Structure 1
Amino acid sequence: MDRRTYLQGITSAAAVGVAGCTEIRGSQGYPNESITIIVPWAQGGGTDRSTRILVSPWQEELNAEFVVENYPGGSTQVGGERLYNAEPDGHTVSMWNLPQMNATRLFQNAPYTIEDFDYIGTNHFDPTMWFAGTQTPYENMTDLIDDARERPGEITVGLTSAVGNTALSALLVQDTYDVEFNLVNLEGGSSVRQNVLGGQVPVVVNQPWAFNPANVGEVTPLGSHTAERQSLWPETPSFAELGLDDIPLVDEGLGQWKLMMAPGGLKEEYPDRYQTLVDSYKRAMETEEYRESAAKQGNLNKILRYNEPDNTFEIVQSVSDSMREFEGLFDTFRNR
Structure 2
Amino acid sequence: MKNTKTTLLSLAGAVAVSLSSAAMAGYPEKPINVIVPWGAGGDSDLTTRIWADAVEKELGVPVVVINKAGGGGVVGTSFVANAKKDGYTLINAGLSNMLVTPNFSKTPYTFDTFTPILKMTSVPLAVVVAKDSPYKTFDEFIAGAKANNLTQGSWGASSSGTILANIIADQAGYKVKYVHAKGAADSMVSVVGGHIDSAVSFPPAFGPHVKADRARALVINQKMDDYPGVPTFGDYGIQGSFGGWSGVFAPKGVPQEVVEKLTAATTKVMQDPEVIKKYQNIGAVVDYRHGPEWVSDMKVTYNIMKDAAAKAKK
Aligned residue number for residue 215 of structure 2: 219
**Which residue of 195, 204, 208 maps to 1:200?**
195
Q: Is 2:101–2:160's contact at 8 Å kept on the other side of the alignment? A: no
Q: How far apart are residue 305 of structure 1 and its match? A: 0.4
**Which residue of 262, 282, 298 maps to 1:298?**
282
Q: How far apart are residue 83 of structure 1 and its match? A: 1.2
Q: How far apart are residue 156 of structure 1 and its match? A: 0.8
Q: How far apart are residue 123 of structure 1 and its match? A: 0.8
- Name the CA shift for 1:208/1:293 in 2 (closer, same or farther; >3 Å): closer
The CA distance in 1 between the partners of 2:307 and 2:243, in whole Å, is 16
**Which residue of 34, 50, 53 maps to 1:53?**
50
Q: Is 1:39–1:68's contact at 8 Å kept on the other side of the alignment? A: yes
Aligned residue number for residue 92 of structure 2: 95
Alignment-mate amino acid for residue 105 of structure 1 = P
Alignment-mate amino acid for residue 298 of structure 1 = I
**Which residue of 106, 109, 112 maps to 1:109?**
106
- Name the CA shift for 1:45/1:272 in 2 (closer, same or farther; >3 Å): same
Q: Is 2:123–2:283's contact at 8 Å kept on the other side of the alignment? A: no
Q: How far apart are residue 304 of structure 1 and its match? A: 0.9
Aligned residue number for residue 268 of structure 2: 283
Q: How far apart are residue 324 of structure 1 and its match? A: 2.8
Matched residues, number = 301
* DSSP-derived class of the 1:95 partner: strand
* DSSP-derived class of the 1:112 partner: coil
Gaps of 5+ in 1: 1-16
Alignment-mate amino acid for residue 161 of structure 1 = G
Q: Deviations over 1:200-240 (max 9, x none)?
A: 1111111123322552332121111x3x4234423210122
**Which residue of 124, 139, 164 maps to 1:169?**
164
Structure whose alpha-carbon radius of gyration is higher: 2
- Name the CA shift for 1:205/1:331 in 2 (closer, same or farther; >3 Å): farther
The CA distance in 1 between the partners of 2:312 and 2:38, in whole Å, is 21
Alignment-mate amino acid for residue 206 of structure 2 = F
Q: Is 2:77–2:97's contact at 8 Å kept on the other side of the alignment? A: no
The CA distance in 1 between the partners of 2:61 and 2:299, in whole Å, is 31
Q: How far apart are residue 97 of structure 1 and its match? A: 1.5
Q: How far apart are residue 320 of structure 1 and its match? A: 1.2
Q: How far apart are residue 23 of structure 1 and its match? A: 6.0
The CA distance in 2 between the partners of 1:122 and 1:330, in whole Å, is 29
Q: Percent same amino acid among aligned pairs?
A: 24
- Name the CA shift for 1:20/1:239 in 2 (closer, same or farther; >3 Å): farther
Aligned residue number for residue 135 of structure 2: 138
Aligned residue number for residue 239 of structure 1: 233
Q: Is 2:203–2:283's contact at 8 Å kept on the other side of the alignment? A: no
Gaps of 5+ in 2: 1-11
The CA distance in 2 between the partners of 1:232 and 1:21, in whole Å, is 55
Aligned residue number for residue 321 of structure 1: 303
**Which residue of 255, 258, 266 maps to 1:273?**
258
- Name the CA shift for 1:206/1:78 in 2 (closer, same or farther; >3 Å): same
Q: Deviations over 1:91-122 (max 9, x none)?
A: 12122211332222112211222122111111
- Name the CA shift for 1:20/1:90 in 2 (closer, same or farther; >3 Å): farther
Q: Deviations over 1:258-317 (max 9, x none)?
A: 111111101xxx22233112211222222344234334x4353xx110012323312321
**Which residue of 257, 263, 272 maps to 2:245?**
257
- Name the CA shift for 1:331/1:157 in 2 (closer, same or farther; >3 Å): farther
Q: Is 2:128–2:206's contact at 8 Å kept on the other side of the alignment? A: no
| Aligned-CA RMSD value | 2.4
